[in-house]
Amino acid sequence: MGVRLMVVDDHRLLAEALASALKLRGHRVLAAAAPAAGAAELVVQRAPEVCLIGTSTPAEPGMFDPIVKIKRERPQVAVVVLGPVPSPRGIAAAFAAGASGYVRHDERIEGVERAIMKARSGEAAVAPSLLQGAFAELLNPAAQPDDEGQRLLQMLTPREVEVLVRVADGEDTRLIAAGMGIAPSTARTHVQRVLMKLGVGSRLEAAALAARTGLLDRAGPVGGVPAAAELPSVNNSGHV
């Protein structure tokens, strides 16, 4: 039986992609909203069974304030957080705010769906490996934790970073070419190189990866395009 749910994320493109995938699996998606900070009111109004909230900064102070509001006004709504590999502080903050689960952003859709079903039934939806990893970090903190966003950013040239930001902002090849003052064929080549370096097969996957690892925030404004802007709908085919 499908679940009535909402998908909330600061990156609209990612929220809409996840919502589409869940719809295809028989779930009723009431809304895919962005930004997360202003979505608590919508969740309270729609009262889904489960709300998925995406974040790239789970340890940031106040990040889970929307969950507090949701649980205060709609305690029956189960909230599952989608985020990066969390620190112990990140997991603790999510559950302290009232979350029912925490799922890695790179989890397969089947894993996300399992977390949804567990949360709806009142169970804690956290993979044992996440808890083990969190406790391991707590007991043996890394001096310099791996930064996936920084690693990916270093793989790209400044021009490729600009292309990625424009892709994430929903620009097609024609708009990328016009904005950067280059030929469409050159823009297409840049896009293909970005996809290859990131190891993804589509623009949608590239935008999602960049958003989830914080790469867009690290890139900052480039070429007059603000990174991590609110994302309009794009062609989900992923064709370049």
pLDDT in tens, 103-162: 988 888 999 999 999 999 999 888 776 766 666 655 665 544 456 778 888 889 989 999
142-154 burial, b for 16+ CB within 10 Å, e for fewer? eeeeeebbeebbe
pLDDT at residue 11 greater than cutoff 60: yes
* Amino acid in the structure at residue 40: A
pLDDT at residue 218 greater than cutoff 80: no
Q: How many beta carbons lie within 10 A of that of residue 73, not counting itself? A: 14
Residues 67-87, mean pLDDT to the nearest whole number: 88
Window from 7-16, 43-52, 146-155 with minimum mean pLDDT:
146-155
What does the pLDDT read at residue 240?
45
Residues 60-84, mean pLDDT to the nearest whole number: 89
